[in-house]
Amino acid sequence: MREAHPLERQVGIDYYVSDGDGVGGRLRGTPADFRVRELEAVDPEPLDADPSAYPHLLVRATLTDWDTNDFAGALSDALGVSRERVSWAGTKDKRAVTTQLFSIRGIEAPDLPALDGADLEALGRTGRNLEFGDLAGNAFEIRVSEPERPDAVGDVRDALRAFGGGRPAVPNWFGHQRFGSRRPVTHEVGLHVVREEWREAVLAYVGNPAETEPERTREARATVEAVAASDDPDWRAALEATPGHLGYERSMLHRLVENGGRDPADFRAALEAVPWNLQRLFVNAAQSVAFNRICSERLRRGLPFDRPVAGDVVCFADADAPADLRLPDTDRVQRVTEDRVDVVARHCERGRAFVTAPLVGTETTLGEGDPGDVERSVLDDLGLSPADFDLPGNFDSSGTRRAILVDTELTVERDPLTLSFSLPRGSYATAVLREFLKADPRDL
C-alpha cells in the first residue's frame, strides 16, 4: 500500500488504497470549483404554521466562501438574536459554494437579512431546531484545476472499484479538516478532555503555535505558552496579546481572567466558554482519530472493508434513505459469528449491510476476533477506554459505530476535469479526492 502524506498520518490516516500517482493539480481555485448541496431529510410545515407550535424557521442557504460557524454568527448578529438560536444539519467547508439548511428559533421569514455571499430561502417551520445529522447526505461537484496527469483518473477509479468489490469505494476516513485544516489540533484537545486534563486541553487549543499560521498568530500563541509556564500566570496579558480574529481563543482566555486560571475547574470553565457544538467537536475529534487509526490498522493487517470477517460488528441500511444513496443505520447493529459470515457478506455486497468500527463512547460495543483485536490495540495505544467518555456537560459521549467503507457512483468529466458524486451524511469528500490527487491535505 502507498503511504499517506505525513500530515494525514498525524490524524491516523496511514495509507492510500490506490498505489498509482494521482492527477495532481489543485482544488478551490475559486469557490465555484467546489460545490456541495445537502440531500435534505427534513419535511417542514408551511410558513404560516402556528409559530407557538413550530417556533423554528427552516431556511435553505446557498453560501459562497462562508464558513458555517462564521455564517451562523453573522446571521445571528444581523437578526439581533443569540447565536444559540441558529442551528444547522452539517458543517461545510469555507472556500466553496454550499447549499445547506439552517433553523432559526423565534423569527419570521420577512426578518431574514441580506448578507453578502448568501442567498436565503425560507422553506417552512419546524417544531424543533436542526441537529447534526438532519440530512441524508451531500452531493458534490468538484473541479480540479491544472491537473498534471489527467489520464491517471482512470487508473485510480479502477483501483477504488477493486477495493469496493465492484463500486468505487474508499475507507470512510474522517478528513483532515475534521481536526483543523491548517492546524490539526482538535483531536489533541479532545484526547486531553477525555482524560480530564483540562489545563492541557485549553493550552493545546489556545497555545500550541503552528508553522502554517500567520506570524502574529504564532506570536500570540507563544505568549500564551510563556504566560502558562509562569509561576503566577498573567492571563490578561495573554488575552491582550491575542488578536480579535481568534475569537474562541479569546473567549477561553476571558474566562481564565475572570476565574483566575489556577485550578482544573477554571480550565474546564474556559473550555465551556465556546459554543456547545465546538465543545462536542473536541471529543468527536478524539473519537475520530481513534476511528482513523482503526481503519489504518485494519488495512495494514489485510482485513477486508467491503465484507465482514468473524467478530465484526455490522450495521444495516437505512430503509428511508434516497434510492440512490447507501445510508448506514448505526442504530441497527449485529455482531457477525463464524456461521453468518457468508450470509452477511451477501448483504454487504447488495448494499444492505456495512462493516463498522467504533466511535468509542460509554456504550460502545467492541468487536471480537481479529477486528476486536484491532480496535482494542488502537484504544490501548491511545490510552482510551469506553468508560473515559463519561464526562460532564457537552463533553459526555455514549459513542456509536461508523461504517468503515463508503462507496459512491462516481462521474468524471475530462475537460475541465470534474468529479461528481454523492456521499451519505458524515462522510468526507476528501476521503475520495485524496485518492485522485495524492496531494498535501491542506490543498484539498
| Residues identified as active-site | 93
Cell (9 digits) for 21? 500517482
Of 92, 68, 88, 278, nearest in space to 185 by CA: 278
Q: How far is CA 319 from the centre of its chain?
A: 24
Query: Are 291 and 358 in contact, with CB atoms under 8 Å apart?
Result: yes
Query: Are 405 and 423 in contact, with CB atoms under 8 Å apart?
Result: no
Alpha helices in 198-317 (DSSP H): 198-206, 215-229, 235-241, 247-259, 264-271, 276-301
Angle at 92 between CA 91 and CA 97, to 5 degrees: 150
DSSP per-residue letters across 11-54: TT--EES--S-----BS-SSGGGEEEEEEE---PBPTTS-TTTS
Alpha helices in 264-337 (DSSP H): 264-271, 276-301
Cell (9 digits) for 381? 495505544
DSSP character at residue 253: H
Of 354, 441, 364, nearest in space to 404 by CA: 354
Residue with grid cell 477506554, as numbered in its chain: 385
Query: Are 142 and 26 in contact, with CB atoms under 8 Å apart?
Result: no
Residue-wise burial string across 298-312, b where 16 or more C-beta atoms lie within 10 A, e elsewhere: bbeeebbbbbbbbbb
